[in-house]
Structure 1
Amino acid sequence: MEVIINKFVDYLKTDRELADNTLESYNRDLNQFCEYASNNSIDNISNVNKTLIITYLMYQQKKGKAASTISRSLASLRSFFQYLLNEGLISKDPTVNLQAPKQEKKLPSILTPEEVEILLSQPNQNNAKGVRDRAMLELLYAAGVRVSELISLDINDVNMDMGYINCSKDSQNERVIPIGKIAIEILSIYINEYRNTFIKDDSEVSLFVNHHGRRLTRQGFWKIIKSYTKKANINKKITPHTLRHSFAAHLLQNGADLKSVQEMLGHSDISTTQIYTQITNNRIKDVYKKSHPRA
């Protein structure tokens, strides 16, 4: 079996040009299965059947492997046996209709309103960079946009008078998000007083630009939020998406309806938004336990 696995990994490398880390994962998953099959007296790939794969997945569960790990193993086996079928090395794919164990959805990490306040207060508002950075952080939390949406905003996507931003890049999928007075205030200062200090070309339309006068990149923004997270000394892992999660959770905690939050986040399926209600419910339980005399 090891020879065939090596051929498969070579195929993934040369024909599909997969990354080295991905190739290592495939190789590890398949060799672990190969060892299990050998321990069960199966050394010929054509003798592998659905029952063996099911017992292997159950064996992984008993060993305490995470559902995500087991799902990845099954995905590797599926690709492997599909390859063997296409190559004519087996007559039937034993992974057909096999279901991976359901993965438990992890609740997203959020900040408390106090932690948001601490993080957003880190940029120095006495210089252009600080005002720009504060405007970006405020907008992330005020509108719950993704980083890709934040850096894609053009100057004309912001309507100060009406208090909204337009995240739509086509008329078919219009998404207009209201923003609060604090975000409007800091954005106004950035646009009117500081944005031009970054601009090198008057034709530049990007809302947020770097010191080269060009549109800020994802990597550039990641560095920015990483540096302010360190300064804020908040003992949580904070990513740009943390502010998006916090935006949604705080809206629901304060009485916003799920459908409105779904529309602001741009989720196509409301079930994606519903995970934030679980965070809200957990918070209510915590408050009850701490506050009710008979809790």
Structure 2
Amino acid sequence: MKENLALAMNRFLEYLQIEKNYSSYTVEFYKKDIEHFSLFMQEQSIATFNDVKYFDARLYVSSLYERHYARTSAARKISSLRSFFKFLLREKIVDENPFILVIQPKKGVRLPSFLYEEEMEQLFSSCDDRTPLGKRNLALMELLYATGIRVSECANIQLDDVDFDLSTILVKGKGKRERYVPFGIFASQALESYINGARSLLFDRSDHRNLFVNARGGPLTARGIRHVLNEVMKKASLSGKIHPHMFRHSFATHMLNNGADMRTVQELLGHTHLSSTQVYTHVTKEHLRKTYINSHPRA
């Protein structure tokens, strides 16, 4: 039984990697969700995936709630298993998809946290650009804020990906999708200052072309970027914790607040679906409401 379950799962994971071109990170989540459901099958003495019925799927979802799984985690597991059984149905391994009618729990709307423009200025001012690491940190933050790219995308940028003539960078996003993202004069100046006056002082290896390097000259990883931002936050004396996605959230929020249309922001962020970008409208609506209350004489 275990061999048959493992074989079906491996075929599905290969399908995600080869046909769907999903990242290894995403595939790993699918694998964990299916393995979790396989343990449930063992508890219920269900021998094969074809033996799973709608009642079993409902019972599994109930067990998630009883174990106090967050709504987002439960929704992801249901979505993973629905896709998994859809694949098994296509491959004629099962006769039906027991998760097709299972209702996903509604996700609560979590508003993205962002920094106000004044807070961004405070962060930039806290960088001492007279030192090599200070120049790097300023260039890093200016680029994150100017483009809204993900921290993983930023960590993978190569020197050849930056085009100063067109003020664009080539970004390799999720699912190996590529896009060109423009950057402005502040990011351009900070990048040129870093590349010409700091990177060569930090860099001591010839086996990589990563744009951002750490204090030892190696590639600056996503974890390293997170550490850099937390240290800058402390120096800037801003309350609360900063995380890389706050630059992305701030980019999108400020763009929309200043008149950019949703489709443009979607393309710049590299979102496949507009619904991923629309979460920022909650923030911009709140901004409009506060502006109205503070500005209208009869508000």
TM-score by length of 1: 0.70
CA deviation after TM superposition for structure 1 residue 44, in Å: 9.4
The 8 Å contact of residues 157 and 171 in structure 2, kept in 1 or not, is answered as: no
Secondary structure (helix, strand or coil) at the match of 2:214 reads coil
- 1:284 is matched with which residue? 288
**In structure 2, distance between residues paired with 1:271 and 1:67:** 19
Q: 1:109 is aligned with what amino acid?
A: S
**In structure 1, distance between residues paired with 2:277 and 2:220:** 28
- 2:169 is the alignment partner of 1:166: yes
1:129-162 alpha-carbon deviations (Å, 9 max, x no partner): 1110111011000111111121211122222233
- 2:223 is the alignment partner of 1:224: no
The 8 Å contact of residues 162 and 170 in structure 2, kept in 1 or not, is answered as: no
Secondary structure (helix, strand or coil) at the match of 2:196 reads helix
CA deviation after TM superposition for structure 1 residue 54, in Å: 5.7
**In structure 1, distance between residues paired with 2:124 and 2:64:** 44
Task: Tell me which of 102, 108, 113 is aligned to 1:104.
Answer: 108
Q: 1:97 is aligned with what amino acid?
A: L
Against the structure 1 CA distance between its residues 195 and 109, is the aligned structure 2 distance closer, same or farther, given a 3 Å change threshold? same
The 8 Å contact of residues 67 and 102 in structure 1, kept in 2 or not, is answered as: yes
Against the structure 1 CA distance between its residues 136 and 65, is the aligned structure 2 distance closer, same or farther, given a 3 Å change threshold? closer
Task: Tell me which of 266, 280, 294 is aligned to 1:262.
Answer: 266
- 2:217 is the alignment partner of 1:210: no
Rg comparison, structure with higher value: 1
The 8 Å contact of residues 167 and 175 in structure 1, kept in 2 or not, is answered as: yes
Q: 2:227 is aligned with what amino acid?
A: K
CA deviation after TM superposition for structure 1 residue 169, in Å: 4.8
Task: Tell me which of 195, 198, 201 is aligned to 2:202.
Answer: 198
Against the structure 1 CA distance between its residues 261 and 73, is the aligned structure 2 distance closer, same or farther, given a 3 Å change threshold? closer
**In structure 1, distance between residues paired with 2:57 and 2:168:** 51
Q: 2:264 is aligned with what amino acid?
A: S
- 2:256 is matched with which residue? 252
**In structure 1, distance between residues paired with 2:77 and 2:168:** 43
The 8 Å contact of residues 165 and 178 in structure 1, kept in 2 or not, is answered as: yes
TM-score by length of 2: 0.69
Runs of 4+ aligned residues of structure 1 deviating over 4 Å after TM superposition are 43-46, 48-62, 72-78, 91-96
Q: 1:239 is aligned with what amino acid?
A: H
Secondary structure (helix, strand or coil) at the match of 2:105 reads coil
Task: Tell me which of 257, 275, 278 is aligned to 1:274.
Answer: 278
Secondary structure (helix, strand or coil) at the match of 1:192 reads helix
The 8 Å contact of residues 202 and 213 in structure 2, kept in 1 or not, is answered as: yes
Against the structure 1 CA distance between its residues 288 and 220, is the aligned structure 2 distance closer, same or farther, given a 3 Å change threshold? same
1:178-221 alpha-carbon deviations (Å, 9 max, x no partner): 21111111111111111110122356422111222221111111
Q: 2:297 is aligned with what amino acid?
A: P
- 1:188 is matched with which residue? 192
The 5 A counterparts of 1:235-250 are 235-250=239-254
**In structure 1, distance between residues paired with 2:81 and 2:277:** 32
- 2:19 is matched with which residue? none
Gaps of 5+ in 1: 1-6, 35-42, 79-90
**In structure 1, distance between residues paired with 2:257 and 2:230:** 27
- 1:3 is matched with which residue? none
- 1:176 is matched with which residue? 180
- 1:144 is matched with which residue? 148
Secondary structure (helix, strand or coil) at the match of 1:124 reads coil
- 1:119 is matched with which residue? 123
CA deviation after TM superposition for structure 1 residue 128, in Å: 0.4
